[in-house]
Structure 1
Amino acid sequence: MNPFSIALLSLAMSTDAFAAAVGKGMALERPHWGEALRTGAIFGAIEGTTPLIGWALGLAAADYVKAWDHWIAFVLLLGLGGHMVINGLQPPESQAGDKPSRHGFWPLALTGFATSVDAMVVGVGLAFLDVPILPVALAIGCTTLVAVTLGVMAGRVLGRAAGRRAEIMGGLVLAGIGAAILFEHLRAG
């Protein structure tokens, strides 16, 4: 693979993570660059690791992973998005306070994994092509780090404009990403 192809692949793999990060940023109380970088690092590490996992799965698991990746992403994103919508619909007095200033590690890691299942399948495909996986995985991880960091900060701006219902919008974004992944794979199949 040439550097241009790697760059295009990295951008394509980071788009779902960017959209999810906008939703995550909207759900936070004025996220700062430190939180945006933390979120970007978590997503980037996961997005950069999943092609390596796919590479390791190789030929034996390619059909299994490819057959279920869209369902895994759909269920995880729908569940996380639904949880955010339910929290956003609760009356203010029943919420545990205003929006959090940061997300917990596990919800971020789960969202990062859900948006990176397709990168695992790419890793399997690259194993067939005998492409050196480390530079590709590093490029995907770094691109995702930047995209997610910017996405969280974009969500900050959108969250202020959305007011109290930003968490609902963020949850709908996550659920929409999951539905889009499912629809894209079902339509292609």
Structure 2
Amino acid sequence: MNFAATAALSLAMATDAFAVAIGKGAALQKPSLRAALRIGLIFGVVEGLTPIAGWALGQVAAPYVEAWDHWIAFLLLGGLGVRMIVASLGATDDDDNDGGRPDNGSFWLLVVTGFATSIDAMIVGVGLAFMDANIWLTAAAIGTCTFVMVTLGIMLGRAVGAVVGRRAELVGGFVLIAIGATILYGHTVG
């Protein structure tokens, strides 16, 4: 994968965490930079580890599906992109907050929330096992992008509101579909 594809994938993977962070930031009363950095770090680490776990699972299956790996990557990324688009279109303001609870959340609650938003990164990791991609570089890019976007999302949450978070997830869904289509095109035509 080239730099542009890695950057686009990293942004796409971070959008759902960004949406959650905006909702969390909107619910917090005057979030501090320290709190935003803490939440961003937790989400970034979790989001960076899950594609590695998915990649390891994909490596086990790779010899058995090598002839149609590009179709698997296309279906996984495309399906995930469609899911993100549908989720962004069906979201309501009530979906993006935590019941008005104005605290930063416990460490384990943040880890579980981070994992819930990173299932898509695990699926992407499975798809990356079928490609010539450096999983360590890709996982680091996804984790770093998530850290930055979640930190910014927390800080921007109160000012911007949940609408931007839903739009970010919508754009991320289209980016994933485009990456999947590019992989399919490159293996079948190019």
TM over 0.5: yes
Change (3 A) 1:14 1:84: closer
Alignment-derived partner of residue 119 in structure 2: 117
Which residue matches 1:23? 23
Which residue number in structure 2 is paired with residue 34 of structure 1?
A: 34
Structure 2-normalised TM-score?
0.65
Amino acid at match of 2:153: G
Measured against aligned partners, the alpha-carbon deviations of 1:60-92 in whole angstroms (never above 9, x if no partner) come to 4998xx6xx86xxx8xxx9xx77956x44xxxx
Maintained 8 Å contact 1:30/1:101: no
Residues 82 and 21 (structure 1 numbering): CA distance in 2 closer, same or farther, change over 3 Å? Answer: closer
Equivalenced residue count is: 150
| Ranges in structure 2 where 5+ consecutive residues have no aligned partner | 63-68, 178-190
1:127-178 deviation line (CA, Å, top 9, x unaligned): 111311000000000001000000001113257xxxxxxxxx79xx79xx7x
Q: What percentage of aligned pairs have identical amino acids?
A: 52
1:9–1:82 distance in 2 versus 1, CA, 3 Å: closer
CA apart distance, 1:17? 0.8
Matched with 2:157 is: 155
Matches within 5 A, 1:133-148: 133-148=135-150
Distance 1:2 1:158, change over 3 A: closer
Distance apart, 1:101 and its partner CA: 3.9
Distance 1:82 1:131, change over 3 A: closer
Q: Which amino acid aligns with 1:56?
A: A
Question: Which piece of structure 1 moves more, 121-130 or 144-153?
Answer: 121-130
Structure-2 separation of matches of 1:8 and 1:100: 33
Aligned-pair distance for 1:102?
1.7
**Once superposed, which parts of structure 1, at least 4 consecutive aligned residues long, lie more than 4 Å away?**
81-85
Structure 1 residue 46: Cα displacement: 0.7
* AA at the equivalent of 2:124: V
Unaligned runs of 5+ in 1: 89-98, 160-168
Q: How does 1:1-189 map to 2 (within 5 A)?
A: 1-58=1-58, 59-60=60-61, 87-88=99-100, 99-158=101-160
Return closer, same or farther for 1:84/1:19 CA change in 2, 3 Å cut-off: closer
Q: TM-score, normalised by structure 1?
A: 0.65
